[in-house]
Amino acid sequence: MSDLSNLLLLLVLAGVVVLWLRLSAARELAVREARRLCQQHQLQLLDETVGLRGIRLRRWNGIRMIERCYGFEVSVDGQDRQPGRLWMVGNQTTDLSLPTTETPAEASTVATTGNVVPFRPRRHVNERIH
C-alpha cells in the first residue's frame, strides 16, 4: 500500500510542477504581448511585468476555453502610473484595456474630473487586435 500512496503523491507533485511551468510560460507570453501593445500605443510599460488578475471560462469560437486576465501599469508621459489589462485565450490576445493617449487639443474636448482618465470601451471577444 505504501508504494501506491508514494506513486499517487509523486503524480500529484508532477502535476503541480507541470501546471506551474505552463502558467510561467503563459505569463512570459503576456509580458511580451503587453510590451508589444504598449509600444504600438506609444505607452511605457512600467516595471516590465504583468500579474495574473483573474481566470474565467469563456466561449471562444464555439469552444469553452480558459481566459486569463493580466494586469500591469503603463505611463503615458513617464510621470504617471495608469492601470492596463490584457485578456488572453491560449496564446492569443482577446481583449485589451489601456488608458487613452490624447494630444492637448483632444484633451480639451474631453471633460475629465480631477485625475480620472477616460478609457476606451472594452472590445468584444470576436474582434481581433492587430
**For strand 63-75 and strand 82-89, is the pairing parallel, antiparallel, or unpaired?**
antiparallel
Q: What are phi and psi of 78, to 5 degrees?
A: 85, -5
Total count of residues recorded for the chain: 130
Region label for 80, one of left (φ > 0), alpha (ψ between -120 and 50) or beta (otherwise): beta
What is the average pLDDT across 26-40? 91
Hey, where are the domains in the chain? 2-109
Percent of the chain's residues with pLDDT above 70: 76
- Asked if pLDDT for residue 13 goes beyond 70, the answer is yes
**pLDDT tens readout for residues 71-126:** 999 998 888 889 999 999 888 888 888 887 654 444 444 455 566 666 666 555 55
